[in-house]
Amino acid sequence: MLPLVGPMKWIVFLLATLAVGCATPVARTTSPALEQAELECAGKGMATLATPVGNTTSYKCIAPDDAARRAQAAAMN
């Protein structure tokens, strides 16, 4: 095998780092307020709509087929 010299060392290091980073699962956190709003809305047979308001997020219950809900779901995909 050829000795790793010059830029090759960095390429091997970066590829190894990328492989480890891609293999590590990312934890997705959910706000307790969102979880509570989803529970309340689901109990009513409705969906939850999250709207940013300043530094916080406002949650409200809406009909599952509401256009705003579909737009928000489409933006997340």
The pLDDT, as a whole number, for residue 64 is 84
Of 10-14, 33-37, 54-58, least confident by mean pLDDT is 10-14
- Average pLDDT over the chain reads 79
Confidence at residue 43, expressed as pLDDT on a 0 to 100 scale = 93
Q: Which two tokens stand for residue 59?
A: 């949650």
Average pLDDT of the segment spanning 38-46: 92
Q: How far apart are CA 14 and CA 8, in angstroms?
A: 10
For residue 4, what pLDDT is reported? 57
Residues 7-16 pLDDT 10s: 667 677 777 7
Q: On the CB side of 58, how many CA atoms lie within 13 Å of its CA?
A: 6
- pLDDT for 31 beyond 70: yes
Kindly compute the dihedral angle of the four CA atoms of residues 49, 51, 57, 59, in this order, to the nearest 10 degrees.
-30
DSSP for 11-36, written as a single string: HHHHHHHHHHHHHSPPPPP--HHHHH
